[in-house]
A = this chain, B = another copy of it.
Amino acid sequence: MADLARSPEQIGNAIRRVRKKRGMSQAELGEKTGLRQGTISLIEKGHSAAKLETILAVLSALDLELRVNERTKQTMLADALLGYGKK
């Protein structure tokens, strides 16, 4: 939870993880959002140029949401401890 989303890849990973947790296929998620299965596939793979709107629709269908955070020392420390930013 509370995945860092600093790149399309990270967002895609978060989406895929939660979709599976919900036991949903890409086709089902597409149905729910009005997107094609192929589009969901692209997004999960980190399609960099996806439209914001599209991403938000997918997140919403999975009961997810975005938050805008400042990168403070605290959050950066927390990320390090949680292993974010690792290659």
Contacts and interface: CB of A to CB of B under 8 A. Distances in A.
B59 A48 contact: no
Contacts of A70: 1, 18, 63-65
Is chain A's binding surface mostly helix, strand, loop or mixed?
mixed
Contacts of A65: 4-6, 68-71, 75
Complex copy number for this chain? 2
A3 interface: yes
B6 A52 contact: no
A69 B70 CA distance: 15
Given A51-B52, A53-B48, A66 B5 contact: yes
Contact of A68 (B14, B48, B54): B14
B68 A6 contact: no
Interface of A: 1-8, 11, 14-15, 18, 48-56, 59-60, 63-71, 75
